[in-house]
Chains A and B, each alone.
Chain A
C-alpha cells in the first residue's frame, strides 16, 4: 500500500530536549515536505526537499532542521524545542514537485511543555 508514515503519532516533551520526528514514504517520490498545522493559520510549510541532499526552507523554518540522506526518508529535527512549536505536524510527498498532488502522513501531535 502506498503510504507516508510518520512516527511518533503523539509526543509530549520538555523545552530544550532534542527530538526527531521520522517520515518515510514507499512511493519513490522525489519531493517531500514538512508542514505544521495550527488553528486559524492552516498549514504552513516548514522545509521541503526536491531530492536526496537537496533541501530548502519553507515559510516557517526557524527552530527546525531536516535532512534527506535517502530518497524515502525525510526526518524533522527540533534541536531545542520550545512551547511555540507545540503543533500538529504533517509530512507529505509527491512525485514531480509542486504541480502534482501530495500524499500526507497521519500527522504527529507534538506538545512542548
Chain B
C-alpha cells in the first residue's frame, strides 16, 4: 500500500521569509510525487512533480521541492513567502508499475503573515 504524510496541519510564516511544507511518503517501488495547491472555493492546481532525474524540482510561482529517497521525503519550499501564497497544500504520490491509484496527504494550511 502507498501512503503520504503531511505532519503539519498548519504552517505560519512571515512574508518575505523562506517557507517549507513537509511531505513524506511510503511506496513499494519508484514514486511519482506531486504538489498541488488549493485556494478557497477552488479545485486543486498543479504546482510541480518529481518523476525521475534531478532531485530538485522547480515549479510554478517560485516553488521548488527536493526529492530525498533515503528519507522518503518531498518537502515543498520557497525562498521568500508572499501573502498570496496562503492556501492549502497537498502532497500526492503514485507509483510506477501499473498500480494506477493516486494517494493524497491530508493537506497543510499555509498562512503567510504580512
Q: Is the beta-carbon distance between A99 and B105 smaller than 8 angstroms?
A: no
* CB<8 Å pairs between A and B, sample of 30: A42-B106, A42-B107, A43-B90, A43-B92, A43-B104, A45-B102, A48-B102, A50-B100, A56-B100, A58-B101, A59-B101, A59-B103, A90-B44, A92-B43, A97-B100, A98-B94, A98-B101, A98-B102, A99-B32, A99-B51, A99-B94, A101-B34, A102-B36, A102-B44, A102-B46, A104-B36, A104-B43, A104-B44, A106-B42, A107-B43
Q: Is A35 an interface residue (CB 8 A)?
A: yes
A31 to B101, alpha carbons, bound, how many Å? 11
Contacting residues, chain A, for B101 (C-beta < 8 A): 45, 48, 58-59, 98
Contacts A99-B32, A106-B43; is A33 near B94 (CB within 8 Å)? no
Q: Is A44 an interface residue (CB 8 A)?
A: yes
Main secondary structure of the interface of A (DSSP, over half): strand
* Shortest Cβ distance from residue B21 to the other chain A in the assembled complex, whole angstroms: 13
A48 to B102, alpha carbons, bound, how many Å? 9
For A, the interface residue count at a CB cutoff of 8 angstroms equals 27
Interface residues of chain A, those whose CB is within 8 Å of chain B, are: 4, 31, 33, 35, 40-45, 48, 50, 56, 58-59, 90, 92, 97-99, 101-107
Which residues of B from 24 to 57 have beta carbons under 8 Å from A?
32, 34, 36, 41-46, 49, 51
